[in-house]
């Protein structure tokens, strides 16, 4: 289990701290939703998670086989819907430099599509929320 603690900093910004490492990231609301757009928005992080997850799982497979995956990129285009405001589509293009045979391509494509974020976005996720009013 990993715990991430997010604090509202005001002006539509948050800071999130990754429990195990202490790394911090800041979010900002996008310009089209009253923010300044000076950092990743929360929905941008969903798109980022998808791309990073696909490349990471592909990297695990590539390293296991000694295949040179360094330099591979993924571009994720996030398309928003307005009513209700939500992510409508995450379109990904994965670019892998070098020469690959059909067996390698199949293994890497299967890895990308099997990444936990891709699988999560396709399925139902339990989303329990508990409010603790007056908490310090």
pLDDT tens string 53-88: 999 999 999 999 999 999 999 999 999 988 888 899
My answer on whether 52 and 77 are in the same domain is yes
My answer on whether 32 and 48 are in the same domain is no
pLDDT (0 to 100) of residue 126? 72
56 in a domain, yes or no?
yes
pLDDT at 28 over 80: yes
Neighbouring CB atoms inside 10 A of 40's CB total: 16
9 in a domain, yes or no?
yes
Mean pLDDT of 47-58: 95
The domain tally of the chain equals 2
37 pLDDT band (50/70/90 cuts)?
A: confident
Mean pLDDT of 93-105: 93
Give the Cα separation of 33 and 30 in Å (integer): 5
pLDDT (0 to 100) of residue 136? 66
My answer on whether 29 and 46 are in the same domain is no
CA angle 21, 23, 28 (to 5 degrees): 150
Residue-number span of the structural domain to which 54 is assigned: 41-124
My answer on whether 30 and 47 are in the same domain is no
Report cis status (omega within 30 of 0) of the bond before 84: yes
Q: What is the mean pLDDT of the chain?
A: 91
My answer on whether 45 and 92 are in the same domain is yes
């Amino acid at each position: 289990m990993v715990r991430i603690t997010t604090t509202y900093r005001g002006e539509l910004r948050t800071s999130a701290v990754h429990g195990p490492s202490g790394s911090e990231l800041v979010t900002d609301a996008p310009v089209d939703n009253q923010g300044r757009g000076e950092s990743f928005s929360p929905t941008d992080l969903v798109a980022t998670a998808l791309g990073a997850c696909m490349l990471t799982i592909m990297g695990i497979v590539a390293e296991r086989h000694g295949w040179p995956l360094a330099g591979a990129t993924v571009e994720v285009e996030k398309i928003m819907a307005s009513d209700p405001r939500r992510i409508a589509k995450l379109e990904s293009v994965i670019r892998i430099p070098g020469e690959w045979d059909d067996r390698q391509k199949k293994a890497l494509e299967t890895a990308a599509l099997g990444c936990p974020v891709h699988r999560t976005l396709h399925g139902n996720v339990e989303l329990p929320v508990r409010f603790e009013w007056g908490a310090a």
